[in-house]
Every structure is written in structure tokens, then in C-alpha cells.
Amino acid sequence: MSFEAGDTVELLNELPEAFLAVTELGEVLFVNRALTALTGYDADDLVGKDISTLLPTPERRRVQVIEWFGRWANDPDSEQLRYLNLELLTRVGDTKLVSVRVSKHDIQDKPCFLVVLRDVTTQHETMAALRHAQLVTNRILAIGEDAILSVDSEQKLIYWNERAAQLFGYSESEIIGQPLSRLLPPNMSVDHSDLVTSFTAGKVASRMMGERGEIFGVHRDGRRIPLEASITKTTIDGQTVLSAQVRDITERKLREQALVASEARFRAIFEYAVEAMVLLSPDGRVLEINPAAKALLPDFEASKYFWELDWWHEQADPQVVQQSREGLRESVGRCLAGEVIRVRTHLGGTREVDFSMLPVNDADGRVVYIIAEARELNATGDHA
């Protein structure tokens, strides 16, 4: 059996894809120019040879390639052909992955297989790289600190990471396919749905956390959860997909509430204290003074250094004033180094003040404030 020269051969040689004809026993009858270009073989190197020269039987498969051809020729739309590729061996020993389409035809009254091969090596490598990238991305999203969820154009959930499951109390199998409104308070679901629809139709591609303020979600057990969310939209196969990164801000709100309460307590103590109190920056500059301090400083000016305040407006001796200022300045420096200070100074006449300074440290042990307190004493050293 052989292919004869003529219009058919020329037509097959003009095909852009690699083509070969092979007998049921595996003998190669014909290869076109596209196949020789793909493999590096000349046609004479292949015609009359066994198909295993080009398509060796993989070690992991026991069935011969020619047997696969028989199966695929009888079922050209086999599901197997959608994902199964064969290894093509080139003249220099390189391996390429090829997809295969097979049909059966009689040549000179003898059945043979007509095979079209398509080089999918680059496509396979690209898909492998994409699968790897997707796997890495999924792992990162799965273990991320924020909940990640995605909805389709109908606002039904199509992606749900582990943190989202922990945050809302639903497993992935329970929530996928459910409407987004299931995670929202009933009184907010309609408005939120309108906002999502507006965002989908708009030109803005994403909104970051904080841009739309605080929102609320609903846990499976019914409790409301304060949240922040960033949202982005992408188009996949012509369909809009919205993805949100959602963060539980319950702990932050509790800290903020505790800070507000602490500030209120400090303000009550600071504003209504009988003794004069001054809040200083670490370098000794005045940040705030309370009413009792203002009573001692009739000409108070903000932003001065503590030792520059006119505590000694009744002191007639300028040398005493200068020495007292230098003493306070030195005391502020010692307080910045972590020392608790207590020092007494004369204001003039019989007036005397006992100054104390306390450093306030942050979590890292750095001094962030100095609280100075002044108690006015009488001539005998008792409180006035």
C-alpha cells in the first residue's frame, strides 16, 4: 500500500497542521511537510517505518499507540481526546506534546488511520504555569487573615475562603450558590444590593477598605459583625465577578471604645484636679494644661517649653528665676531618661511649688509623654 502523487498528496502537503497516514499494523504510509517540519525528519526517514518511531508507547501506559488510534477512530469525539496528549519524538530526540484527531479510511481497499497532530507543548507549559500560579494564589487566599469571597452577576457566592468560613460560620459547601444577602442584616440587604449593582455598572474598578466606611455582616448565629471591605470587579468569559476582601473590626472597635473611655477618665482627672497639671511632649514642650495650672500662669502661652512658662512672675531676683528654669529643664531631661522627678522651687515671696514629673511609656518602653504636676506650698511646707 502506498500514497500516489497527485492532487491529493499536494493538498495534504499544504495543510498547516501535521498529518500522517498509518496502517492498522502501525506502518507509516505518508507524512506531510508540516509533520517533517515539526519533527525534523525527512519523509523518506519515516515512510515504511513503525509509528513508534514518532509516537513511542509511554512507559506509564501499556496500550500501544496504534490501539489508541483504533479506539479514537471509532469514537472521534471521545471525551478522552479532550485532555489526553501524546508524546512526539523528534529527530534530535526532543519530546513534544501533541493533541490527536484520528479517522479511519480505506486506501487501496485496505483500512488505515488518518491522523492530524497539533503541537500543544507551549500551551501545556502555559497551562501548567497557570495551574501552579492558581494553586499558590488559592493557598495564599485560603490562609489569609482576611475573609475573601466572590459573587457572580446575580450576587450569588461563587468563592469562599477558610477565613470567611470562620468569620461568618458557614462552610464552603453550605454557602456557595447562596445569595450575598444571606450575610447581611435584613434592613441593609436591599440598599447593599443596589450599591453592588451600581458598582458593577460603574467605571470604577475597585474600592479600597475605608472608602465606604463601616458595614455590618451577620454571623450564622444571628449576631452582627462590624466589618471593613474592599471590593474589585473583573470580567471572566464575559461575566462580571465581584470579589471582596472583608475584615472583622470587632477587636479594633473594642480598642477604640476602651481608648475613648480611657481618654474620658483622663480628661475628668486632668480638668478637675485641684493641683496644677501639665501634659508635655518628650522634649518638654507644653501640649495641654489644666484650669488649676492656668490659675498659676495668668499669661500662659501654648507651645512653650515647660521651663519657659512664667511660674516666677512674682520672683524679683532674675538670677533665682534663671536657676529655677535651668533646674526644671534638667529635670525634664532626666524624666525623658525614665526617672520620676520631684523638685521644689520658690515662686517669689513666701510662695513655694513642689513639681513632680512622671514619664509615660508606650508598649516599646519609649517615653511618649511627660505628666508634670505642681503643688503650691505655704511657707511651712504644707499645702496652701
**pLDDT one-digit tens code per residue, 73-93:** 877 666 665 557 889 999 999
Structurally, the chain folds into a number of domains equal to 3
What's the confidence (pLDDT) of residue 320? 80
pLDDT band at 308 (very low <50, low <70, confident <90, very high): confident
Q: Is 284 left (phi over 0), alpha (psi -120 to 50) or beta?
A: left
Reading the block at residue 311, the C-alpha cell is 511660674
Tell which residue, 369, 151, 384, has the closest CA to residue 279. Answer: 369
**pLDDT one-digit tens code per residue, 172-193:** 999 999 999 999 998 887 777 8
Mean model confidence pLDDT for the chain: 84
Reading the block at residue 11, the C-alpha cell is 493538498
What's the confidence (pLDDT) of residue 171? 94
Residues 315-335 have a mean pLDDT of: 85
Whether 286 and 228 share a structural domain: no
Q: Any idea what the CATH number is for the domain that residue 38 is in?
A: 3.30.450.20
3-state secondary structure of 316: coil
114 in a structural domain:
yes
Q: Is 145 exposed, middle or buried (0-12, 13-18, 19+ CB in 10 A)?
A: exposed
pLDDT band at 235 (very low <50, low <70, confident <90, very high): confident
Residue 42, pLDDT > 90, answer yes
Residue 3, pLDDT > 60, answer no
Kind and range of the H or E run holding 95? strand 95-107
137 in a structural domain:
no
Report H helices in 215-317: 250-272, 291-296
Whether 91 and 150 share a structural domain: no
Residue 375, pLDDT > 50, answer yes
Q: CA–CA separation, 44 vs 319, rounded Å?
A: 115
Residue at grid coordinates 500501544: 64
- Asked if residue 304 lies in contact with residue 298, where contact means CB atoms within 8 angstroms, the answer is no
Q: CA–CA separation, 332 vs 354, rounded Å?
A: 14
Tell which residue, 145, 182, 179, 178, has the closest CA to residue 164. Answer: 145
What's the confidence (pLDDT) of residue 193? 80
Lowest-pLDDT range, 58-62, 92-96, 202-206, 238-242? Answer: 58-62
323 in a structural domain:
yes
Residue 95, pLDDT > 50, answer yes
pLDDT band at 145 (very low <50, low <70, confident <90, very high): confident
Last residue of a domain, one of 216, 248, 280: 248
CA dihedral 291, 293, 298, 299 (to 10 degrees): -110
Q: How many percent of the chain have pLDDT more than 70?
A: 86
Which residue range is the domain that position 278 belongs to?
Answer: 267-377
> What predicted TM-score, i.e. pTM, was given to this entire model?
0.48
Residue 379, pLDDT > 50, answer no
